[in-house]
Structure formats: structure tokens, C-alpha cells
Structure 1
Amino acid sequence: MLLKRILKVSFAVISIFVITLNVGNIANGNTFEGIVAVEQVQTLIEHEPIVINSDADFDKYDFSGSGTIDDPYIIENYNITTDQYYAIVVAYTTKYVIIRNCYIRSSFIGIHVLRSAANTVRVIENTCEKSSEAGIMVDSCDQVCVEYNICNDNKRFGILIHYSYQSEVLSNTVTNCENEAIRLEYARDIRVINSSAINSEFGIRVWFTNNSVFFSNNLVNNNVNGMEIREECHNNIVHHNIFYNNCKYVAPGESFSQAVDEGINNSWYNSISNEGNYWSNWDGSGEYRIDGLSGSVDKYPLTLDTDEDGLDDPSEIYNYNTDPHDADTDDDGMSDGWEINNNLDPLTDDSSEDPDDDGLTNLEEYNSNTDPHDADTDDDGMPDDWEVNNNLNPLTDDADEDPDDDGLTNLEEYNYSTDPQDADTDDDEYTDGEEVEKGTDPLDAESHPSLLSMNFISIAFSLSILGFGLFYLRKRKTF
């Protein structure tokens, strides 16, 4: 359960970041253009490409620091936009160096870390765009930390880790790559955590990589797969990741998996907590099948609905723009899930509207659990508002019931506008059923069957007198 809480917190952080980038573009499959703000680029210092091929090369530049573990060289706050192959290269060094807060655009690789000593290089908080090979590449270096970077619109790879051991890819956002957003090859003991791979051909793709952990990542809107583990990959663990709306080439309605595993002994869940991954196309029952020759499954797929509004968190972020931490985003008294499921707007207050003209507002329909777009939810001939106002059930067909035992069914009471809970609506001491049967008005206390009887007697008596009078007059004429 602790891991599930960690997942929720990490997803919340990533979600806030993604919202800032433009959630609508993600949901619609559009690309991110210019994630880094123009103002930010303008505040950076324009600089020529930086090439470090030895410890001595640091002396060519005026970087702060001395290259020790306590005082590393810091390459920061540069805007390096170039048509050369590389914007920043740090290679064959033993010095400690941090590459931080730079805007990078080059023709081939943005930031290239090559054959430097283990645990000496950190690449953090940079934006790398539009390189033809990779935004960031770590090659033949161990224990490199690649953290909080944005890699956007790089042609082949956003982040490429090649021949590396014990490196970390943490809290990065990679979008719009024609190949893989994040690629690992010939690597071991890598940790890929809290990163987002979005709108690319593949989210994460792994080749010849062993004993690595993929935890709490967002894999969203990737065309082929959210993640693919290729042959000769062993003993990797994939858990608490969010796989959302990947596999765009699958035909509508066709069953599919958002991940592929061709390796050996890879696990798609945490065996300690018995918690796997979130899959947007999981049907909510049983295991989640992973495509590929390994026959892998996620034994413990997750559901993720932080605010318990009936909408999973990724759908709130990527589809509906609602707040996954607020069950009622627009504060109109109706939960986001109910509004979405009933074709209302969860982002504006529409509680007082009545789209089906049944006399109940949307909020009243919500409280009654009726359909705001159907004036007679249970199709029993009585509109929802009349049933609600007369303490009947608008969700079940109770048209033939007679709760007040007056001889009229509920539907007849509706047609006569009488009260289905009051046997004598007009309080004239005659039941509504009697009045309807006798032809009097059950809504008018002055109209009741006794008056009909009195009127009949009066008419009969008058006719008798008239008849007797006519008979008497005829007799007199004969005499």
C-alpha cells in the first residue's frame, strides 16, 4: 500500500507538470511545440557548442567549480542552438560535472556523455529539442544521473542509455519522438523512475538490458507500445507505471496489450506488495496479458481513482481536463464521473439546467440518480419530476402500483393529476377511484357522487310531479 501511495503522489506531480504543458494537446494527439518558454530561452546565455574530451579541456571554459565531488564543474544557463553534431559533449573525463538548465538544439545529439568516470556526471533540468539522433545520450558511462529534463521533438530518441550500468533516468518528460522516447540498450541495473514518455512511436524500449527497474512512469499516447522489452533482456521489474491510450495502430474494438515482453524472467508487478501497473484498457477483472513470446502477465493490475469520483486519474488528466484530486471540479454539487457519464460539462456549473425539460434540474437528477437527458428514466409513462415529487420511484416501472389503495394506479393518478399517496385528493370523503368511476371531479371537493344521487332524486321527483300534472290535466279534458 505504501508503493500505491507513492504512485499516487508521483502521478500527481507529473500530472501537474503535464497540465502546465497543455493537457488538451496530449489528449488530442497533437505535438508539443516549444515546451520551454520563450522568455526562459531569452534569459539564457547564448553559447557555442561545448566539447570536453579530456580533463584538460575544462580549462578552456569559464565554468564554476573545480571538478571535485564537493565542488563539481557546473555547465549551466546556456542556450546552445547549433547546426553542428553536438551541443554539449563531456567525454573521457574523471572530473565531476553537472550540466544544468540549458536549452539545447543541435543537428545530431544534444547532450552526449561518453566514456567518463563512473558517478561523475549529472544531467539535470535541461531542455533538448529537435536533434536527429537523441536529445540526451549516455554512452559507455556508469552511474550517470539524467534527471528533470525535457526532451521534445528529437527525431529518433529522447533519451538513449547505451552500455551503461547503474545509471538513473528520473523525472524526465520526453515527447514526440519518431522512434523511442526512452531507449536502453546493453545496460544493466538501470532505474527509470517518475518519467513520462508521450506521443512517440514507442514509450520505453529496452534491448539487451538486465536487472533494471521501471517504476512510476507515465507512458501515454504512444503509437506502437507503451513499453517493449526485446530479446536477451532478463530479470527486469516493471511496476506502478501508468499505461494510457497506447497502441494507436490497433483497429477500434480489437483486443490488444499496451506492452510487449520478448525477454526472460521479467516481472510486470511488485512481488512484495502484489501491485502491478495501471492499464487504461484493462477490463477490471483478472490478470493483464503482456504481448510477446515470454507469455508474461501483470498479475495485479491497478485502478487509480484518487478522488473516488468514478473516473480514473489518467482519464481525468488526459481526456477530460478535470482535477483527479477533486471529485467535483466545477463545484456544482455533481461529481465529475456522473457528469461525464451523463453527457454534462464537469468544468462549468450546469446544476440548474434541465436539458430534458422534465422539471428536475441536473442537480435534482443527480440526487435522484435519474437521467438528465431522459424525462422518463424508467419509461413507465410518468415523468421523473412527477414521480420524485410524489414519492414514487423514478428508476423502476411502478405505473401499475396503487400505494394509497384508492383504486387508481399510479399511471391513472398521473393522468388524472391526483395524488398517488392520498386516496382522497380533494378531501370530499370520496376516494379518487370512486369519483373517477362515478364521473365526478376528484380534484374538486364540491363535485362528488352524493351530489349526483341527490340531483337524480330531485330530477326524478320533479319528473313525477310533472307527469302527475299532465295526467290530471288530460283527465279534466275528458270530462
Structure 2
Amino acid sequence: MFNNVFSINNYSIFISSSDYLEIKNNLLSYSKDYSMWFIKSDFSLFENNIVNFGQSYGIRLSSCNNNSIIRNVIFNNSKYGISVSLSNNNTILENVFVLNNNGSIQAYDDGLNNSWYSNLESVGNFWSDNNGSAFHLIDGESGSIDIFANYSDYDKDSIPDYYELEVGLDITINDANDDLDGDGLSNFEEFTLGTFPNNPDSDDDGLIDSVEVDLTTDPMFNDTDNDDLIDGLEIQYGCDPFSNDTDMIYFLRSLSNLVFQEKNKDRELLVS
């Protein structure tokens, strides 16, 4: 499962009793329940997904074993960013956890032998609530700990090095307050929002990211109200990007008026 956008679903991804899956490069936003929920699913890879603004857990494993959860960005979910329940021998590594669980402990583990860091590579996960400590406690009965919680932020700008390298930022200087793509949002704001700091219009809807933040439309989903009109067109033609009831009518009416105006201009030119 690759390169999908999920928004405003109960469970954006729900999988049961399926093994050896690859779930990569997906965006899951505003889920009404768990954004990802896996039951009795083993030996799978979850990598480079963005999971944000869910109303419950970001990722929940239930009776799942030997999975790898690597380099995901998980932020602003109402409950734990990751909950590992009755699940064993999973690897949770190089993920970015920001402001999940209302700023409290961001992950839960009651399983056995789940790895939240790698001694071989001396890496763990990035935690926004870590306050500079190399050790980060995971909630739950297993007593898990991430001992490389400050694994890779060379310039101490709260943006992980791997992320900076992926999007073309500089890991040697603090560029959190810079604006690489000139869209009115700082690099750190783009990181926390899940937008792309190297693209002024992350969802290609004709509105730059800072405008979408001001309007409160979704800067990572080009059709906030799911009515088949991208947000940029809705703003251009006076439609409501948050309501799909009458947008197409307004759009067609506005388009018709423009065509009528152009025809009148043509007639005036012919007469003159």
C-alpha cells in the first residue's frame, strides 16, 4: 500500500490477519478513530507514513509480531502516537513523535521484546517531549525505554537530521525559522504540520501552504470538503471549501458568467 491520502475516515487503514505487507509513503489525517489499526498481522513494514490529527491512536498494533515501524512522522493525535498491545518482537525506530496524547507520554507498550532503539546503529526515535534527555520512557507494563532518544539532531533545531536531508535542509545549522520555499511558513512549522518545506504548495491545489493554514483548509489534501473541486478553484470562484452542498453549482455559475462576459467583450470588439 503506497502513496495514498486518507482523510476523515473512521479507521484510515484497518488490516487483520495479513502478513508480509509493505505500507509506505501514505498520508493519514483527521481519522475519527485509530488512523492505522492492525490485528494479528506479522512480518510487515510500515515506513515513511505521515499520521496526524487523529482523534485516537495514530498507529495501534493488537496481537501483532515481528513488524518494523520505521521513519514515520506521527503528530497531534489525541491519544498515543503508537500503541503496541499484546504484540511482541516489533521494531519501532527512527520515528518522529510530536505532541501526541495531548503532550503527555506519546507511546504505549505492554508486549515482549519490542525494540525502540538500535544498539548497533545507536539510533532511537525523536520525541518532542524529551527535553534533551537521551532516555525516553514508554508507557505500559513492558517497561520499554528508548535510550537513544536524541539520536540525530545535529544542529539542535528540533528537526530530525534524516528529515532535513530528505527535504534539502541543512543539518549543520539551525534553520528551523528559515523558510526554504518562501511560502510564509518556517521550516519547523512545515515539519510539525506535515507540509513540504521544499514545496510552497504541498498539495498542488493552487493555494500556498500559509494561505491554507490561515483559511484552515488542509494544506496536505487538495479537496478539503471532498466535492471534486480543489480548494484553489473554490476560493477563486467564491465557493465554500468546507461545504460540498452547492459548490459545483456556484462553480458552474461563475464559469458561465465568465464565458458570458468574454462573449460580450468579443461582440463589443466586433461592433467597434
How would you bin the TM-score normalised by the shorter chain?
Answer: 0.5 to 0.7
Following superposition, the deviation at residue 287 of structure 1 comes to 1.1
Select 1:228's aligned residue among 69, 80, 83.
83
Following superposition, the deviation at residue 268 of structure 1 comes to 0.5
SS at structure 1 position matched to 2:81: strand
Following superposition, the deviation at residue 206 of structure 1 comes to 0.4
Following superposition, the deviation at residue 305 of structure 1 comes to 3.9
Rg larger in structure: 1
Distance across 1 between alignment mates of 2:14 and 2:122 = 30
For residues 83-104 of structure 1, the C-alpha deviation after alignment (integer angstroms, 9 at most, x for no partner) is xxxxxxxxxxxxxxxxxxxxxx
One-letter amino acid of the structure 1 residue matched with residue 118 of structure 2: N
Indicate the structure with greater strand content. Answer: 1
Q: Which residue of 2 aligns with 1:261?
A: 109
**C-alpha spacing 1:244/1:299, structure 2 compared with 1 (3 Å):** same
Distance across 2 between alignment mates of 1:223 and 1:299 = 25
One-letter amino acid of the structure 2 residue matched with residue 259 of structure 1: A
Q: Which residue of 2 aligns with 1:189?
A: 43
Consecutive unaligned residues in structure 1, runs of 5 or more: 1-145, 251-255, 318-322, 338-479
* TM-score, normalisation: structure 2: 0.58
Distance across 2 between alignment mates of 1:206 and 1:313 = 27
2:2 and 2:25 in contact (8 A); partners too: yes
2:123 and 2:151 in contact (8 A); partners too: no
**C-alpha spacing 1:282/1:166, structure 2 compared with 1 (3 Å):** same
Following superposition, the deviation at residue 182 of structure 1 comes to 1.0
1:147 equivalent in alignment to 2:10: no
SS at structure 1 position matched to 2:58: strand
SS at structure 1 position matched to 2:111: coil
1:313 equivalent in alignment to 2:167: no
Q: Which residue of 1 aligns with 2:139?
A: 291
One-letter amino acid of the structure 1 residue matched with residue 22 of structure 2: E
1:194 and 1:215 in contact (8 A); partners too: yes
Consecutive unaligned residues in structure 2, runs of 5 or more: 181-185, 188-272
Quick one: higher RCO (CA 8 Å, sep 6+), 1 or 2?
A: 2
Matches within 5 A, 1:244-259: 244-248=98-102, 256-259=104-107
For residues 49-74 of structure 1, the C-alpha deviation after alignment (integer angstroms, 9 at most, x for no partner) is xxxxxxxxxxxxxxxxxxxxxxxxxx
One-letter amino acid of the structure 2 residue matched with residue 206 of structure 1: L
For residues 136-191 of structure 1, the C-alpha deviation after alignment (integer angstroms, 9 at most, x for no partner) is xxxxxxxxxx011011100x211112110101111111011121111111101010
Number of aligned residue pairs = 171
Structure 1 vs Structure 2 CA RMSD: 2.4
For residues 395-431 of structure 1, the C-alpha deviation after alignment (integer angstroms, 9 at most, x for no partner) is xxxxxxxxxxxxxxxxxxxxxxxxxxxxxxxxxxxxx
Q: Which residue of 1 aligns with 2:178?
A: 329
Distance across 2 between alignment mates of 1:263 and 1:166 = 20
* TM-score, normalisation: structure 1: 0.34
2:122 and 2:151 in contact (8 A); partners too: no
2:109 and 2:141 in contact (8 A); partners too: yes
Q: Which residue of 1 aligns with 2:64?
A: 209
1:171 equivalent in alignment to 2:17: no
Following superposition, the deviation at residue 324 of structure 1 comes to 4.9
1:305 and 1:324 in contact (8 A); partners too: no
Distance across 2 between alignment mates of 1:170 and 1:286 = 28
SS at structure 1 position matched to 2:124: coil
Distance across 2 between alignment mates of 1:296 and 1:330 = 37
**C-alpha spacing 1:240/1:330, structure 2 compared with 1 (3 Å):** closer
One-letter amino acid of the structure 2 residue matched with residue 239 of structure 1: L
